[in-house]
Structure 1
Amino acid sequence: SGGDRKERICRTSKFENEYQSIKEIREEDKEVSLSAMFEILGVKRANYYKWLKHNKSERDLENEELADFIRKYDEKFNHTLGYRMMTDRINRDENKNYNDKQVYKVMKILGIKSIIRPKRRSCTVRKSNNTAKNNLKRDFNASRPNEKWVTDVIEFKYGKNNENKLYLSLILDLYDRYPVGYAISDHNDNNLVFNTFRSAVEANPGAHPLFHSDGGFQYTSPVFVRMLKDNGMEQSMSRVHCCIDNGPMEGFWGILKCEIYHYGKKYETREELEAAIKEWIGYYSHERYQRRFGVKTPYEVRSEASCNENPVQYPIPENKAIQKYKAAHYV
């Protein structure tokens, strides 16, 4: 019954380690005071004896093993894994077949939860100096690598009082969400964007994607517009006040900032912050599984597509709000 299932899973106690320690110490030395250990470890006598007398079922043993995996990966990934990502991580890396509900319950018992990514409440307001229309038209699906690239610049702060700024410019491929190029600088200027573009082109020779950005001054500069034309790329730009026109990039920034600033993390030096950004980009590209891609990393998806004339398609689940908007604005 539902009650029995709840009782079984609750036996995977968050005090499992404490109970086990008390049991082992008591077996080695009968003179050690149980009351003292209960007080020091913050556990109740009645709950300890209930745990001690309980004959563990297969489900209990499975949950204990699952709890060990959860603790392991929660620590390894700095408490950033929610229950879905935790399920995917354990199932793939440990060759298991846990479901989301089971992992969620055990994580809740252990008091383990990921940080919640706050929604961005606003976006930068700019005058319309666009040099291109929104040719992407919020169609964030791509059938193969280097078909559509999106880009943006984001600001980070560091120092004892967050008084210093660092800027990251990055280009994301919409097929596999792989960062095809990026650059970091103390200044949000043309060179930052130009260097990002050059790194992407050098890493992907012969690529001619649709290139989407906001209407920032770097992207509307005559030099950059010429760079796009020289590389056979069509330009696309978000409209003013329409952050959602570059939704995948906004989402990427949200994940990045949430995970490198988790639990109020601060960076006192430029070197420390830059290292954290580079490490995270490497982690995102090569280690961070995405369920949409069948629990694979962006790099794995990209590598598989490069060896296949007909790459696997990973359609984005339909967003009714976006479909309604597109029907009204893009005839």
Structure 2
Amino acid sequence: MAKKHYSENEIKQLKQNPNIVDVKKNQITYLPEFKVRAVKDNLEGKAPTLIFLENGFDLDILGKDIPRKRLYTWREIYDKSGELGLLTNYRGRKESSKNSKELSIEEQLKKAEAKIKFLEMENGIFKKARRDGKDGDEKETKLTPGERYQLIHETIQRNNLKRVCTYLCELAGVCRSGYYAWLDAKELRDSREKEDELYTELISYIFHQKNQKTGVLQIKMIMENDYCICMNHKKIRRLMRKYNLVTKVRRANPYKKMIKATQEHRTLPNLLNRQFDQEEPNKVLLTDITYLYYENGQKAYLSCVKDGCTKEIIAHYLSTNLEMSIVYKTLEHLALNSGIIQPNTILHSDQGVHYTNPEFQKKAKELKLTQSMSRKGNCWDNAPMESFFGHFKDEVEYKHCKNFNELKQVVDSYIDEYNNRRYQWGLKKMTPVQYRNHLLAA
């Protein structure tokens, strides 16, 4: 039950009673002699309410439960300390409690020493956090409750301090009960730490097997499909952050505009408007060309066709030059895949010189492909194709290839792995080939 709060008018009326020393909004200090007299009357059998009424208290103002509560407290003090306890105790606190706050010189020195040791260790933690942080990061470093408990424990253990636990808890801004609960949970923390280490070994193995270029969602899918371990992606992210497993990601490069087409080259309208996935395999095909540098700065060019629905690379061709033959060969490989090209299949590309070429457009029509083009200089209009090239350059060590044949083997191997063994979050955690078979079976 909440304490009763007295109004200014009620406080004035209560102060008129000679048995009251002082009145505040939620506190009354009674005359010690009245407390002794009330306890003796109560011991003789008189009811608390009657005692207060006989001594001039208005129970409507004071509170009807107050007499019973006050007599209960006063009798406890009387049983322990007698009349002297009531005469020298105004709020149930012992007379010596005031004096107990006055510390001896030895105790003051002990607290000062504990404070110095604690602040030294705390400062050491903040310095380490600044060294580990990024340059120019001015974000304030804050300790979690667990880190504060650890700091208190290490301060006490390393410096062999005694009877300073309460003081250090106040200094750290945590409660003493929380600190002792933290100490009691040591076995549980140790078991969780061992479990984290075991899971991290597997995560680290997958992470380094993919040349440190595998993200959280990829690791989650690999663990589920290849190791039958179902783990929340947030826990994987926490463990990777805890053990400093940072995925290497590519930096965004400015989109390079293709060479302006000659007047005889004709651009075509954008039929997709970024609706790449139309929930039907082979309905939307995306194509583009990227460059690959390998040994001694040699350059090769990779042309690919990707299914917008299943994300599968249907056709690809690697060339040492950017002549028109690179896109013609890609179309030939596409035509060899029976059942891919259908009457309503759309072939989407950017406005590159290869795709605006009349000869290419003629060949596309012969294959009954409907051409669509991105807006000028807008890479987002062909985002899935750009995304594939980005993943390829992140995950494949093609720069170490010594010759063109070796590069071709690396490209063919990766595309085979991408289609058949690389799980994708957006494909219901399936590979592109599995997802295509799933859609066709449905």
Q: Using structure 1 for the length normalisation, give the TM-score.
A: 0.71
Report the CA distance between 1:122 and its aligned residue. Answer: 2.0
Q: Deviations over 1:226-277 (max 9, x none)?
A: 2221222111112221222211111111111122249xx5333223322222
In the TM superposition, what are the counterparts of 1:108-127 in structure 2 within 5 Å? 108-127=241-260
CA 1:55 to 1:203, structure 2 compared with 1: closer, same or farther past 3 Å?
same
**Aligned position for 2:53:** none
Aligned to 1:320: none
CA contact (8 A) 1:125 1:240 kept: no
Q: Secondary structure in 1 aligned to 2:400?
A: coil
C-alpha separation in 1, matches of 2:224 and 2:285: 32
Say which is worse superposed, 265-274 or 109-118, in terms of deviation: 265-274
Aligned to 1:225: 361
Match of 1:251 in 2: 387
Matched, 1:156 2:292: yes
Shift of 1:56: 6.8
Shift of 1:305: 1.7
Counterparts of 1:141 and 1:67 in 2: how far apart (Å)?
36
What's the TM-score, normalizing by structure 2? 0.54
Describe the shift of the 1:125–1:218 C-alpha distance in structure 2 as closer, same or farther (beyond 3 A): closer
Q: Which runs of 5+ in 1 are unaligned?
A: 9-52, 309-331
SS at match of 1:114: coil
Number of aligned residue pairs: give it. Answer: 259
Q: 1:22-61 counterparts in 2 under 5 A? A: 57-61=190-194
**Counterpart amino acid of 1:239?**
R
Is the Cα–Cα contact under 8 Å of residues 420 and 432 in structure 2 kept in the other structure? yes
Unaligned runs of 5+ in 2: 1-143, 151-185
Residues 291/300 of structure 1: CA separation in 2 closer, same or farther (3 Å cut): same
Deviation at 1:6, TM superposition (A): 12
Q: 1:277 aligns with which of 389, 405, 411?
A: 411
Residue identity in the other structure for 1:234: T
Distance 1:288 1:267 in 2: 23
Match in the other structure for 2:312: 178
Q: In 1, are the aligned partners of 2:350 and 2:373 still within 8 Å (CA)?
A: yes
Letter in 1 for 2:251: P
The share of aligned pairs that are identical, in percent, is 25
Q: Report which stretch shifted further, 239-248 or 119-128.
A: 119-128
The structure that is helix-richer by fraction is 2
Letter in 2 for 1:77: K
Which of 255, 271, 289 in structure 1 is aligned with 2:423? 289
Asked whether the equivalents of residues 184 and 192 of structure 1 are also in contact (C-alpha less than 8 Å), the reply is yes
**In 2, Cα distance between the equivalents of 1:276 and 1:173?**
21
Could you tell me whether the CA contact under 8 Å between 1:81 and 1:113 is conserved in 2?
no
Counterpart of 2:220 in 1: which secondary structure? helix
> Which gives a bigger RCO, structure 1 or 2 (Cα 8 Å, sep 6+)?
1
CA distance in 1, matches of 2:250, 2:374: 24
**CA shift digits 1:123-176 (9 cap, x unpaired):** 22432543421122222222211000010111111223x1x1111100000001
Pair 1:93-2:226 in alignment: yes
How many Å apart are 1:7 and its aligned residue?
10
Greater alpha carbon shift after TM alignment, 164-173 vs 86-95 = 86-95
Q: Secondary structure at the match of 1:78?
A: coil
Letter in 1 for 2:230: N
Aligned-partner Cα distance in 2 for 1:7–1:287: 46
Deviations 1:27-54 (A, max 9, x none): xxxxxxxxxxxxxxxxxxxxxxxxxx97
Contact 1:130–1:215 (CA under 8 A) maintained in structure 2: no
- Secondary structure at the residue paired with 2:247? coil
Q: What is the CA distance between 1:118 and its match in structure 2?
A: 1.3
How large is the Cα RMSD of the aligned pairs? Answer: 2.6
Distance 1:6 1:122, change over 3 A: farther
Q: 1:251 to 1:55 in 2, by over 3 A?
A: closer
- Segment of structure 1 superposing worse, 214-223 or 286-295: 214-223
Counterpart CA distance in 2 for 1:206 and 1:115 is 35
Which whole-Å deviations, capped at 9, do the CAs of 1:148-205 have from their partners, x for residues lacking one? 0010111111223x1x111110000000110010111111122111111111221133
> How many angstroms does 1:109 deviate by?
2.8
- Structure index of larger Rg: 2
Deviation by residue 1:281-323 (Cα, 9 ceiling, x = unmatched): 1121112111111211111111212222xxxxxxxxxxxxxxx
Contact 2:304 2:330 in 1 (8 A): yes
- Distance across 1 between alignment mates of 2:365 and 2:289: 21
